[in-house]
């Protein structure tokens, strides 16, 4: 049963849906989330994000996929903080494109991990709007897994929404996952990635925009 229109025509209440999520595995496309946050004009609080996506269910593992510049100490510090605060970081070196920009595509890594762990979780939460992941989502759903897609609607492929069991627009939950004003610091772009001028927030956490 598809639950794409959950808010309006689902036979389940929100409480029932959460109760039936079982073991949850989270797969976050770091680059996609970063650009979605830019569109929303917010900075992500990764502790709040993890809590919101888990939603009180049993968390198997939360993966964070990102391109890296291994010479950048601020980014390495942020990724170390992520590893120590509930995330399994999957990093891939940035590749410079002909136009001078740098990019690291981790669609394959996300798809492989979703399939490899399919017997260990009941619900997959995919934070990405990339339509290239639709085939992987459809494949794990046929293995009995419930798939929730979380992304900004304007950056989300219809093909990905169509194969998911529930779609959540980041616009609808931005108040739950954004940093408070007192935590905000300006960022500057470096090698195509936004880094904060001051990498440490008021609560001691390292921050990056990825």
Exposure string for 80-113, b = 16+ CB within 10 A, e = fewer:
ebbeeebbebbbeebeeeeeeeeebebeebbbeb
| 153 vs 45: CA distance, rounded Å | 20
Nearest to 210 by CA among 10, 28, 55, 53: 28
Please give the C-alpha separations between residue 30 and each of 33, 121, 129, in angstroms, as whole numbers: 5, 21, 11
Domain ranges of the chain: 27-103+143-180
pLDDT of residue 186: 45
pLDDT of residue 205: 43
- 191: helix, coil or strand? coil
171 Cβ neighbours under 8 A, 6+ residues apart? 40, 152, 153
pTM: 0.78
Question: Do 77 and 85 contact (CB within 8 A), yes or no?
Answer: no
Place of tokens 């001691």: 204
Strands of 122-190, DSSP E: 123-127, 146-151, 166-169, 187-190
| Residues 27-103+143-180, CATH architecture | 3-Layer(aba) Sandwich (3.40)
Low-confidence stretches of the chain (pLDDT beneath 50): 1-3, 5-9, 183-210
Nearest to 112 by CA among 164, 156, 65: 65
């Amino acid at each position: 049963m598809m639950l794409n229109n959950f808010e309006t025509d689902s036979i389940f209440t929100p409480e029932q849906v959460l109760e039936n999520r079982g073991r949850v595995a989270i797969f976050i496309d770091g680059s996609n989330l970063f650009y979605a946050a830019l569109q929303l004009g917010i900075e992500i609080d990764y502790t709040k994000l993890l809590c919101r996506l888990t939603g009180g269910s049993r968390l198997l593992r939360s993966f964070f996929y990102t391109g890296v510049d291994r010479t950048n100490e601020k980014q390495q510090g942020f990724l170390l903080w992520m590893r120590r605060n509930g995330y399994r970081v999957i990093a891939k070196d940035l590749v410079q494109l002909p136009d001078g920009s740098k990019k690291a595509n981790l669609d394959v890594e996300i798809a492989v991990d979703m399939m490899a762990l399919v017997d260990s979780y009941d619900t997959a939460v995919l934070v990405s709007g990339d339509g290239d992941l639709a085939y992987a989502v459809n494949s794990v759903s046929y293995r009995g897994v419930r798939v929730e897609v979380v992304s900004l609607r304007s950056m989300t492929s219809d093909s990905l929404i169509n194969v998911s069991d529930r779609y959540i627009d980041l616009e609808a939950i931005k108040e739950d996952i954004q940093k408070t004003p007192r935590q905000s610091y300006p960022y500057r772009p470096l090698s195509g990635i936004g880094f904060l001028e001051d990498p440490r927030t008021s609560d001691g956490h390292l921050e990056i925009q990825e």
